[in-house]
Structure 1
Amino acid sequence: MLTNLSKSIYSCILIYILCTCFIQAQGKFNLPKQNTDKIRFELINNLMVIPVEVNGVELSFLLDTGVSKPILFNIANSDSLQMNNVETIYVRGLGDGKPVPALRSQNNFFKIGNAININQEIYVVFDQSINFTPRLGIPVHGIIGYSLFKDFVVEINYRTKVLKLHKKESYTYRNCKKCETFNLSFYKNKPYINALATIGEQEVPVNLLIDTGSSDALWLFENEEQGITSNYHNYFDDFLGRGLSGNVHGKRSKITSFKLKGFELNEVNTAFPDSVSVRFAQRNKNRNGSLASEILKRFNVIFDYGAAKITLKKNANFNSDFSYNRSGIVLEQRGFRLVQERYNAASYDNYGRSNENNTVISTTQSFKMDIKPSYTIVEIRKGSPAERAGLLAGDVILSINGKDAHNLKLQDVIRYFRDRVGKTIKLKIDRNKYRMQFQFQLEDVFKKKELP
């Protein structure tokens, strides 16, 4: 028999255990009714975009192993989402600028497929310059990484564009002779892997952040003492992208080979970001760069954060050529344009009759106005074919090689710029309401330029 005091102590302990378990459960994603779930994603410029429900609102997020907490942006105002337990903080990431203000919000409801989390912390950034939508051509409202990966074994199939979430306790690894498994290390909840990079003739061991949120193949931080330098191959200066803290510039080059145990890739496109842009990332003294999506998409990938390992298996993308923008044009979807389009309208006789075969007597050409995406040149690489042809930042592309740009997706237009060396590109553009035409040929960006 328990005394009244014993009963009170027992009750307090039970309540404490229940509350502790509830609080811990709140901070996790879970599949309440199943052991596995399948989620389809869009693959745009090597980046995975997944549907995410936040506090009852359907949004789209980048799946990014390079972030520890979800970040929400591209939200016009705070009324569109109900944010809970808000406080102001500053966040920073890659880029040459300063930290940006953000709201830290707790106790938010997240749903990804059938996986739910009833107490998710999120950072909300209202800086309108931090927005992936113009570069991808589809709405993107945020990024999520560790918060999802930590709670499941996650399979990524880049070929079928399917993401599978498995409960860790019920997942069984299959025998796979063609797979390689690697140990992961973590720094601030971000995964790192060891690899070998051959730069020139020197093989260098490198520790790399696994970054599914970067569309490049490989980033390396220059360090002459370690033999990590762009000087072993022809290189050019380029805009590498935009991080949370501003623009990232650097060099683009190639390295001789890149090895992940038995997997080897040759002549790998590699970016060498300038030290100013990555000074925050280099707080991890052991980090030598990033392994990004242009390489990752060549594998079927299994992330197992709980066991601190990743498993890779080659897929049909493995031997694909490394592509790069050979035009020098950086393009964004900047709003929409009102476009006049021609279409055929059915025409009948004065009595509204068609012929005896029930077909219309004739058709007439008519026009309609429609709202279509507008693609604007936002950066032009110095010395590139596009710059030499006379194109300028701010030019709006109306057509490319005879095809109306507004009838194409952004990635379709960009694909023209990644075509074979020597391909002729013909552009019709709008420059301050004047229509102009330009023509140039795509070049090997890594070919050594002849001195004048």
Structure 2
Amino acid sequence: MRSSLIYGLLFAILSPIFTFGQVFSLPEGDRSLKVKFELINNLIVLPIEVNGTPLSFILDTGVNKPIIFSLTDQDSVSLNNVRAITIRGLGEGEAIEALSSVGNEFRIREDMVNPNQQVYVVLDRDLNFSTTLGVNVHGIIGYDLFRDFVVEINYSAQHIKFHDPRYYQQKKSKKCETLPLTIIDNKAYLDGAVVLANDKEVPVNLLVDTGSSDAVWLFQDIEKGLGVPDSHYDDFLGKGLNGDIFGKRTKVEKVRIGNFVLEDAKAAFPEMNSFSLIKNLGNRNGSLGGEILRRFNVVFNYHAGQVTLKKNNLFREPFRYNLSGIEVQHNGMRYVAESLADASGVAYQEDDSFGNVQLLLENRTRLSLVPEIIVSTIRAGSPAAEAGLQEGDVILAVNGKPVHRYKIQEVIQMLNEREGKQVRVLIERYNKDLLFSFVLKKLFE
């Protein structure tokens, strides 16, 4: 899968914004609302109803107005007051045509409602993150929620509390640290520092981006001391609104946010032509994404210009790299035939979002319709590429485990378990089954 996401859902909407008095609110007398979310590849996926239709949105501090995309033939959403517009964002492509719709009801659970929400709709079918995340995702939403509430994100428990800012009081704790948060053009920026080499700390100003599954992106600036470390490799970094984003993957000695320090942190230097449609980056030096943010429980208080961080039980987890070089995604459905004797006792871990159809045949064979997982891209010089795997290969099994029994994120973990691990991948190519084997190597010597 294109693992650094999409991992760069750094969407910047530059078209004129018209608010029309939009606001989310809680029922009178309620001071907060707790909402469960799914944490998928460091991204927060929230259930939201749009004009009565249940959809799923990524919570993205890097986006201004909500965007709907990835609509399929099975999706039916009614939208009000539609007109054509042009929107721009990250990626190597041109600005794209979209629709703007106002006067829509956005509802989170029964209690939290905006009856007059503006939303953009992108009709390009290529802009589809469901295939890489393994669950249906219909859009992204950001600033409107952070504008109307104090947003408390508990990454470890996977729930959010939306607090009415009129009543919110910050809890005092020695384990928490509150830092200044600068809001510019409806986006949040945080000061920090990185150490690339020689223990020299370089101050950086970072866009806070919950919609990026990566750790930290840095913009190359030799004069400032932000040069690409010698140990790096070229990589796909993510998918933006206007196309793919490439750059150099590396790690830095330290990332410091306030008094919190993360060592040997995953980092990337994106190619700056991906930012060509963004007219003014100001003093921004990069972005802070979900792979670092998930290590904290975070309170965003845009009203007070503050963010509060508290380490959680994910803080010391190692940073995740694509060791195999394989990116995977769903590619429609396929039939899988299994003997019931062979399948007995198997605990299936199926993704209900994509469905599963099973037929039991007279010879005690189960014929199941399951999601097909393919190699979407492969990194040149990676262990998988050297072993002979190719883009378009259909993955059948990893280390003897049939992949249709697992979620796509679990398959990715199998392919990238640890350095030195031998990985066996059974694939189908031109109606032939082929077995490849390779060893996951160190990325940085």
Same fold by TM-score greater than 0.5: yes
Give 1:77 shift: 6.5
Contact 1:344 1:365 in 2 (8 A): no
Contact 1:233 1:255 in 2 (8 A): no
User: Is 1:171 aligned to residue 172 of structure 2?
Assistant: no
Q: Where does residue 3 of structure 1 map in the other structure?
A: none
| Equivalences for residues 404-419 of structure 1 within 5 A | 404-419=402-417
Q: How many residues align?
A: 406
Contact 1:200 1:233 in 2 (8 A): no
CA RMSD of aligned residues (A): 1.8
User: Cα gap change, 1:134/1:78 in structure 2, threshold over 3 Å: closer, same or farther?
Assistant: closer
Instruction: Flag the structure with higher helix content.
Output: 1
- Alpha-carbon distance in structure 2 between the residues aligned to 1:25 and 1:277: 32
- Alpha-carbon distance in structure 1 between the residues aligned to 2:233 and 2:367: 43
Q: Where does residue 63 of structure 2 map in the other structure?
A: 67
2:46 to 40, 47, 50: 50
Give 1:279 shift: 2.6
Which residue identity lines up with residue 430 of structure 1 in the other structure? E
Q: Where does residue 444 of structure 1 map in the other structure?
A: 442
User: Cα gap change, 1:301/1:282 in structure 2, threshold over 3 Å: closer, same or farther?
Assistant: farther
- Alpha-carbon distance in structure 1 between the residues aligned to 2:115 and 2:44: 24
Higher Rg = 1
Q: Where does residue 92 of structure 1 map in the other structure?
A: 88
- Alpha-carbon distance in structure 2 between the residues aligned to 1:25 and 1:170: 25
Give 1:278 shift: 2.2
Percentage identity across paired residues of the two chains: 46
Contact 1:343 1:365 in 2 (8 A): no
User: Cα gap change, 1:173/1:41 in structure 2, threshold over 3 Å: closer, same or farther?
Assistant: same
Q: Structure 2: which 5+ runs fail to align?
A: 1-17, 343-361
Q: Where does residue 132 of structure 2 map in the other structure?
A: 135
Contact 2:251 2:264 in 1 (8 A): yes
Which residue identity lines up with residue 214 of structure 2 in the other structure? D
- Alpha-carbon distance in structure 2 between the residues aligned to 1:292 and 1:380: 23
Give 1:281 shift: 4.3
User: Cα gap change, 1:442/1:79 in structure 2, threshold over 3 Å: closer, same or farther?
Assistant: closer
Which residue identity lines up with residue 59 of structure 2 in the other structure? L
- Alpha-carbon distance in structure 2 between the residues aligned to 1:251 and 1:91: 27
Q: Where does residue 382 of structure 2 map in the other structure?
A: 384
- Alpha-carbon distance in structure 1 between the residues aligned to 2:80 and 2:189: 32
| Equivalences for residues 351-430 of structure 1 within 5 A | 366-430=364-428
Q: Structure 1: which 5+ runs fail to align?
A: 1-22, 346-363, 448-452
Moved over 6 A (4+): none
- Alpha-carbon distance in structure 2 between the residues aligned to 1:387 and 1:25: 52
- Alpha-carbon distance in structure 2 between the residues aligned to 1:28 and 1:78: 30
Q: Where does residue 22 of structure 2 map in the other structure?
A: 27
Contact 2:398 2:415 in 1 (8 A): no
Q: Where does residue 434 of structure 1 map in the other structure?
A: 432
1:192 to 189, 193, 196: 189
Give 1:26 shift: 5.0
Could you state the TM-score of these two structures normalised by the residue count of structure 1?
A: 0.87
Give 1:368 shift: 2.2
Give 1:282 shift: 6.4
| Equivalences for residues 150-229 of structure 1 within 5 A | 150-201=147-198, 202-229=200-227
Could you state the TM-score of these two structures normalised by the residue count of structure 2?
A: 0.88
- Alpha-carbon distance in structure 2 between the residues aligned to 1:376 and 1:206: 38
Higher relative contact order (CA 8 A, sep 6+): 2
Give 1:421 shift: 0.6
Structure 1, 314-323 or 23-32: larger mean CA deviation: 23-32
